[in-house]
Structure 1
Amino acid sequence: MKINLVHFYTLLSVALVVSDAVTPEVYWKLVLPDSPMPTIVKDLLYPTGMRVHATHKEKPGYTKVQPETLKTACTDTGSEDQFINNMNGTMYFLENDLLQGTEMKLNFGKNKNQKLSFIPRKVSDSIPFSSNKLPHIYNEFSVTPDSIEAKIIKQTIDECEKKDIQGEDTTCVTSLESMVDFGIARLGKNVKAITTEVKTKKDTSLQIYKVEGAKKVNSNEFVICHKKNYAYAVFYCHKSVDIRVYMVSLVGVDGTKVNGVAVCSTDTGKWNPNHLAFQVLNVKPATVPICNFLSEDHVTWVPY
Structure 2
Amino acid sequence: AGSPTEATALVCLDLPSSQVEVVARSSSVAVEPEYLSIPEPIVFPTGGGKEVAYAFFYPPKNRDFVAPAGEKPPLLVKSHGGPTGATAAVLNLGIQYWTSRGIAVLDVNYRGSSGYGRAYREALKGRWGLVDVEDCIAGAQFLAAQGKVDGERLLIRGGSAGGYTTLAALTFHTVFKAGASYYGVSDLEALAQETHKFESHYLDSLIGPYPERRDLYRERSPIHHLEGLNCPVIFFQGLEDAIVPPNQAERMVAALQAKGIPVAYVPFAGEQHGFRQAANLKRALEAELYFYAQILGFPLAELIEPVPIANWPPPR
Greater relative contact order (Cα 8 A, min sep 6): structure 1 or 2? 1
Per the normalisation by structure 2, the TM-score is: 0.25
